[in-house]
Chain A
Amino acid sequence: QVQLQESGPGLVKPSQTLSLTCTVSGGSISSGSYYWSWIRQPAGKGLEWIGRIYTSGSTDYNPSLKSRVTISLDTSKNQFSLKLSSVTAADTAVYYCARDAGGWWYFDLWGRGTLVTVSS
């Protein structure tokens, strides 16, 4: 079955760019009508949707983060990526990649999450 796995640095310095990758296994990232999303969760807090990318490459971002976020797709590697620029301590969180249900935008598949800490 399809699985998602986040990867990337666990520590990022303030003002730098956070970069994460989600690797899709067990299926092609290009097949089906799926959106691939990034969602984050600060420790002990709730969930925040960051943005998503469609298999065509079109993107939607949360306006609260839009000026700092880029989500891209690499179909050759079966991956999609997140870049968040100018990070501060407020960006410290567990970052999840997730897939929607194929045409309907609830999330039926999640990665295990990766903790990113912003600190000097």
Chain B
Amino acid sequence: DIVMTQSPDSLAVSLGERATINCKSSQSVSHSSNNKNYLAWYQQKPGQPPKLLIYWASTRESGVPDRFSGSGSGTDFTLTISSLQAEDVAVYYCQQYYTTPFTFGPGTKVDIK
């Protein structure tokens, strides 16, 4: 199985400041045939299912605010919230869909400082 790790476990950021979450996979999730990174990011608020934010490591899902951005390739990825808003308080998960079993990172909790 591809093991996904995330750092930090949690972070508190002031409103309007940048939040950065890291995700690392135990093996590359980049496919040589199409140069795509099979990595997605989700946001989960309490009592709600996860919501897709980013796929292909850097493509924003329709309707997701542009303050959310994804970057990285191979085994190292980053989700950045450029200007944290109150509604961004949530747990964020990365997921690899390179191969089954699909696996998720343990999550990073984002709070307001």
- A residues sitting closer than 8 Å to B (CB atoms) are 37, 46-49, 60, 62-64, 96, 98, 100-101, 104-108, 110-113
Closest 3 A-B residue pairs measured CB to CB?
A110-B49, A106-B40, A105-B97
Task: Kindly identify, within residues 45 to 96 of chain B, every residue whose CB is under 8 Å from any CB belonging to chain A.
Answer: 48-52, 55, 61, 93, 95
Q: List 24 A-B contacts (CB under 8 A).
A: A37-B102, A46-B104, A46-B106, A46-B107, A47-B93, A49-B103, A62-B100, A96-B49, A96-B50, A98-B49, A100-B97, A104-B55, A104-B97, A105-B97, A106-B52, A106-B55, A106-B95, A107-B42, A108-B52, A108-B55, A110-B49, A110-B50, A111-B49, A112-B48
User: Min CB distance, A26 to chain B, in Å?
Assistant: 16
Number of interface residues of B (CB under 8 A): 22
For B97, the chain A residues whose CB sits under 8 A away are: 100, 104-106
A105-B38, A107-B95 given; 8 more Cβ-contact pairs under 8 Å: A47-B93, A47-B104, A49-B100, A49-B103, A96-B50, A111-B49, A112-B48, A112-B49
A47 to B49: give the CA distance in the assembly, Å. 10
Give the distance to chain B from A107, nearest Cβ to Cβ, in Å: 6
Contact A49 B105 (CB under 8 A): no
